[in-house]
A and B are shown apart, each in its own frame.
Chain A
Amino acid sequence: MIRNYFKIAWRSLIKEKTFAGINIVGLSVAFASAVLLGMYSIYELSYDNFHQSDRIYQSYSTYEVPSGRQILVSQPIPFAEALKQEVPGIEQIARYNAGSEVIISEGKQFRFSVAFTDPHFFKIFDFPVSRGDSEALGKPNEIALTQETAQTIFGKEEAVGKTISMQLDGEEKPFLVTSVLKNIPQNSSLGFDIAADFTQQSSSAYRDLKDDWGHANHEVYIKLEPGVSVANFEKASRAFSNSHNQGFIEQMKKEGVSPDENGQFIQERLLPLKDIHLAKEKDGMLMADRLFPNLLLGIAILIIFIASVNFINMSIARNFQRIREIGMRKTLGAGKGQLFFQFWGESLLVFLFSALLGLGIARLLLKEFQSLFRTSASLDMIITPQGVLFLLLIVLLVSLIAGGYPAFSASRIETISALKGRLSRDGNNQLRDTLIVFQFAIAILLISGTVVLYSQLEYLQNKDLGFNKQEVISIPMNGKKEDARVIQQLRNELGKTPGIESITAANGVLGLGLDGGRSSSAMSFQFEGRTVETNLLMVEYDYPETIGLELVAGRSFDRSRPADSLAVIINENMAQQLNQEKIIGTPLQMDDTGAEKFTVIGVVKDYNFQDLDQAIEPISLFLKPHWNMRYIYVKVRNANSAAILKTIEKAWKKIEPEAEFQGSYLNENIDRILKREKNMITMITSGSIVAITLSCMGLFAMSLIVAAQRKKEIGIRKVVGAGIGTVTMLLTRDFVKLVLVAFVIATPVAWYFSSEWLQNYPYRVSLSLWMFLAAGLIALIIAVFTISFKTIHAAVQNPVKSLKTE
């Protein structure tokens, strides 16, 4: 019997090539898109799931300050040890500070990401050792390399037992390689090439701050004891926070700041490890924002839905063509169950075939997908025994829903009517129309999403950020020479080069440089009895001029004034915080010792020095030419000139021959921080293209069917005088109505979601009706164009022909 089912299924497929083709192409494209989107989404959600324990957390603190609640993930150096001793429930705790360092081995120089951490780190996390000492970082001078790093440094030679040097505090410090770790999985939010002991960092990062509770510079990870809940831990930590921050708490009380709901000014909190990758600030807490992966899963489901709708509609339509077969089978004794399984079996065949094809397409497109979305997500994550079983179940389920209804309706057809080829279409047409409406509503929803996202990205990209994006190049200082010397040499080298206007440096980057590094520092200090918070940036001479900041008051740093080493330039927001009638000349006592008193010499217009989804905060620029600068900035005369970039690279290579040149224009840096938005746009645009294409394929098939069903009617209308235009309109009108209904349904939903999403951005486009009208219009034009092929064809037919066949 089953053989019979499959035989007839196969033969019907062959016979109905157009419909089978539309179904298989549609479903396989849908499955391919769903597999890729699902894979990406699962990958995003799978971060850090290779660690066995679910008791691992990142520590962070919330501070109640005059401007509201502040979140800090960085902790001071004595914090971890004190927390472990004073707060019960901690099984292990480890400090972690990762940064880029210069490594020297046998005269060769490398730059690797080094994680300075405590030995307990490897007891908390599952980063297994592949060779050497199974207890990594047993002694302070021991280090662990990942397999990849070991290979890069030593090639095929054994790394364990070798000594390498790290450039720290201007010296080459030797370390003994005792362990080689298995490579860090791609979906790890902690990534490093080398692990070293926490105490071995540069003095400015460790020794100078060893007992300093006021300076936070690293992350802390905690593994709780079994049975200890986050709530209990947080509650138990309150006494700890209060005892170590008395000064701060007193000050906040004095300034009239209200504590949180538990009466705390400082609260230690825990962020689950698996939430770190997607963590975002929400309601004064850190929590995983799963919007993007969930959105992608949603799009995947919607695409499958659209393709399934095509399948349902075409299957029901095909039931009409197979009505006599259904009647005859019933006459010969086929039961409802048998008929159901026969028709469902046919659907299953199509679905299984399409799913396989879809998987193949996904595999073919994987490389492009990975590079387009800059992801390491791969199909290996899906093609596991459980994964395949899950996929199979999904295919079964979808085929049961999509193939089940037509099969059910076929099995319910009355035998006599079926034998006579008569069937009421009303109920089925309603279902068909409803499904088409939903299909187009989804397509319009996605198209409007694309339009809104695109407008927002355009807005962010073209927004005046308050600095010169096009004519400034940032260069990460990744060599081993002293920063001040590199800057000076570069100035000497390029100072007279035509096309180069000025060169400066700072310890922070605007946007995201090619080195991928970002850092920021902030502080708070007392000013006229109030606490004032500011971001800090150490800069070289000419910084405001080079990056194009606009001075609204005062002056810039001046080489001829030695006193400028204690000068500070602030932005408008900071000026507002200080709230002085005459801001220029305002003295700022920025540390507790009172050793250094700074003076405000200039105010620059607010500029976006942070991510574009953040409002501009206060910032203070300090002139510190001998600071550990991280980035050089070069102002050039011609926007985005590649030639001048080459000239700079040449000069760089002369100064730092071993270090990679990673110069890039600031607008490229800004584009890099908009990666998430761009990814979202690409995904949603691809989703909408697939959605509208599939919807139109379905619509096209429906137009074929409707034209066939109404052949006689068209013939009669033409005989009694209807013209081609009238008939085309007649056939088109019904479909246009459906698209219009879809537009009415989709627009409020799209409006709601778009405005919710835009709330994430302090700088955003305002929604306007044209965005949604454009989406509706695009859908309508594509729909009318699609069906016009068949409607016009049906309308120009000779009526005699259509009446004769009746």
Chain B
Amino acid sequence: MIKITNLEKYYKTEEVKTIALNKLSFEVKEGEFAAIMGPSGCGKSTLLNILGMLDDPDGGSYLFNGIEVANFNERKRANLRKHNIGFVFQSFNLIDELTVFENVELPLIYTGVKPADRKARVDEVLEKMQIMHRRKHFPQQLSGGQQQRVAVARAVVNNPKVILADEPTGNLDSSNGNEVMDLLTELNEAGTTIIMVTHSEHDAKFSHRIIRMLDGQKVTENVLV
């Protein structure tokens, strides 16, 4: 599903060049649940941005579903992204002015789904995430766990092939965190590929494989299953 080879990314300021990713290579197969771990500043988030096609690499290859996307322009990346990738963020990133329903509906609007189909699809996902009763609420009216469930609902509403989760439980207490991890596991079991960046060893154990990084490079790779 995802194969990166010798992926490089630098950040340059006037005087300093910082290497964020240093010839990084690995592969994540379809249906896999991979966790990426490492200390702050090791390049995890940079990697996730590139995998999510929010950013482009400075070198190396990135094959998504067999297509080379490393040199895609922004428009092509955006197009591929909105149909194939769902995001879950540590800080939920829900839009405060939209209700739960409308937040989840947003990706469908941008992919041009008709209103009637949108409603059916959103209702189905909200049902599945058990937040149907909160559909008319605004994000500020929900608990952190509920907000993250909405974020997950929004990430999966388009039936993406891959979900990229960046510290999905970072802002949650342990019970809410576990609920979110269970959700991700369920999605994975239903066939969605998941790549999750986390600091939490506990969360990482939900995955099939842990890739550990340091200074932009892969250090170890542990298969858990």
Contacts and interface: CB of A to CB of B under 8 A. Distances in A.
Nearest to A324: B93
Interface string B76-113: 00110110000101010111111000100011011100
B168 to A, nearest CB: 15
Interface stretch (A306-314, A329-337, A426-434): A329-337
Contacts of A8: 95, 97-98
A332 B102 contact: no
A333 B81 contact: yes
Given A8-B95, A12-B97, A416-B49, A334 B102 contact: no
Contacts of A334: 110
A416 to B, nearest CB: 5
A328 interface: yes
Given A324-B93, A327-B93, A416-B55, A332 B49 contact: no
B154 interface: yes
Nearest to A3: B115
B78 A335 contact: yes
A338 interface: yes
Contacts of B82: 332-333
Interface centre among B94, B97, B102, B109 (most CB of A within 10 A): B97
B54 A415 contact: yes
Contacts of A559: none
A333 B110 contact: yes
A7 B93 contact: no
B109 A4 contact: yes
Interface string A293-336: 00000000000000000000000000000001101111111110
A333 B78 CA distance: 6
B78 A325 contact: no
Contacts of A1: 109
Given A8-B97, A334-B110, A419 B102 contact: no
A338 B82 CA distance: 14
A419 B89 contact: yes
B170 to A, nearest CB: 14
Nearest to A330: B78
B55 to A, nearest CB: 6
A330 B106 CA distance: 11
A332 B97 contact: no
A332 B89 contact: no
Nearest to A334: B110
Contacts of A330: 78
A11 interface: yes
A17 interface: no
A582 interface: no
A4 B93 contact: no
B11 to A, nearest CB: 11
Interface in B114-169: 154
Interface string B32-57: 00000000000000000100101100
Contacts of A15: 96-97
A332 B106 contact: yes
Contacts of A332: 82, 87, 106-107, 110, 154
A657 to B, nearest CB: 75
Given A12-B97, A416-B49, A419-B93, A329 B106 contact: yes
Given A329-B106, A338-B110, A11 B54 contact: no
A4 B112 CA distance: 13
A331 B95 contact: no
B147 to A, nearest CB: 13
Contacts of B95: 8, 325, 328-329
Interface in A6-38: 7-8, 11-12, 15
Interface residues of A, number: 22
A11 B79 CA distance: 28
B111 A333 contact: yes
A185 B48 CA distance: 74
A273 to B, nearest CB: 58
A13 B98 CA distance: 13
A332 B52 CA distance: 11
A327 B154 CA distance: 15
A317 to B, nearest CB: 17
Interface in B21-38: none
Interface centre among A7, A15, A324 (most CB of B within 10 A): A324
Nearest to B89: A419
B107 A333 contact: yes
B26 to A, nearest CB: 22
A327 B87 CA distance: 12
Interface in B169-194: none
B77 to A, nearest CB: 10
B114 to A, nearest CB: 11
B153 to A, nearest CB: 13
Contacts of B110: 329, 332-335, 338
Contacts of A333: 78-79, 81-82, 107, 110-111
Contacts of B55: 416
A4 B102 contact: yes
B157 to A, nearest CB: 10
Interface string A330-372: 1111110010000000000000000000000000000000000
A626 to B, nearest CB: 86
Contacts of A329: 95, 106, 110
A615 B93 CA distance: 75
A11 B97 contact: yes
Contacts of B102: 4, 7
Contacts of A419: 54, 89, 93
A7 B55 CA distance: 30
A8 B97 CA distance: 6
A559 to B, nearest CB: 91
Contacts of B89: 419
A12 B97 CA distance: 7
A11 B93 CA distance: 17
Nearest to A335: B78
Contacts of A12: 97
Nearest to A1: B109
Contacts of B54: 331, 415-416, 419
Nearest to B85: A331
A346 to B, nearest CB: 11
A419 B54 CA distance: 10
Contact of B93 (A328, A335, A338, A416): A328
A15 B139 CA distance: 14
Nearest to B81: A333
A331 B78 CA distance: 8
Contacts of A325: 95-97
Nearest to B138: A11
A7 B102 CA distance: 10
Contacts of A335: 75, 78, 110
A15 B87 CA distance: 27
A335 B78 CA distance: 8
Contacts of B106: 4, 329, 332
A327 B89 CA distance: 12
Interface centre among B81, B87, B110, B154 (most CB of A within 10 A): B110
A41 B149 CA distance: 60
A607 B133 CA distance: 89
A665 B109 CA distance: 75
A610 to B, nearest CB: 67
Nearest to B154: A332
A330 B107 CA distance: 10
23 contacts: A1-B109, A4-B106, A4-B109, A7-B102, A8-B95, A8-B98, A11-B97, A12-B97, A15-B96, A328-B93, A328-B94, A328-B95, A329-B106, A331-B52, A331-B54, A331-B81, A331-B87, A332-B107, A332-B154, A333-B81, A333-B110, A415-B54, A419-B89
Given A331-B81, A331-B93, A415-B54, 12 more contacts: A4-B106, A4-B109, A8-B98, A11-B98, A324-B91, A325-B97, A331-B87, A332-B82, A333-B82, A333-B110, A335-B78, A419-B93
What 9 pairs between A and B have smallest CB-CB spacing?
A333-B82, A333-B110, A11-B97, A328-B93, A332-B107, A325-B95, A8-B97, A415-B54, A334-B110
